[in-house]
Amino acid sequence: EGQHQVSKDQLVLQPEAVAPARACEASSAKVGELPERATSVVLQSWQQVKLVGLDSVGEMLRINTLAIDSEAVKLFRVPGIVSTGEGMLQRMALRHLCSKVVRFVGSVVAGRYDYLRLVETLNKLGATRAAGGAREEHFEVLKQGLDITLREVLGDAYTEEVQHAWMTAYSFNAAIMIEGMRSAQGSMTARTA
């Protein structure tokens, strides 16, 4: 997956450049079932995002999310690395973390993930977000930032069905992380009681 800097105006996707979705393995699952035509369009949107580059899209997501609510940085707090989101190193770390969000959501959109591993990973990530001061509302802010970012990246290709697939995939991921965060908060509360 080479990432090159390409402006969205330079993007022209050929149908043969979009790989068909692989069949899910026994331990994998797809979020929702999309009609065959929609699946092709949705897969093409993931390919287009990857062509722009996950780092570039991650940076756009960082900017858009923090423009909505700068407190959303708490979703990405990493002790000693990211606290306020200010400064070059923190912005770079946030861009990297936002590109991971795009990668996780894109993998779900494309139906290419190991369900058990994804749930385990997102649950652990959610648990770590509790210690950073994240709140459930921050996940909604990130969703809004992702929606704006995808609209900018995909332009006219960001149709209602593509938007639905991406937002459903994001909500799926966020629900798992929120559950992990709630569990961790419950454990912290129990220890201090």
User: What is the per-residue pLDDT for 97?
Assistant: 85
Residue 16 confidence (pLDDT) above 50 = no
- At residue 34 the predicted structure's pLDDT band, cuts being 50, 70 and 90, is very low
Is residue 21 very low, low, confident or very high in pLDDT (cuts 50, 70, 90)? very low
pLDDT in tens, 125-151: 888 877 777 788 889 999 999 999 999
In the three-class reduction of DSSP (H, G, I as helix; E, B as strand; rest coil), residue 128 is classed as helix
pLDDT surpassing 60 at residue 67: yes
Query: What span, in angstroms and rounded, lies between the C-alpha atoms of 136 and 97?
Result: 18
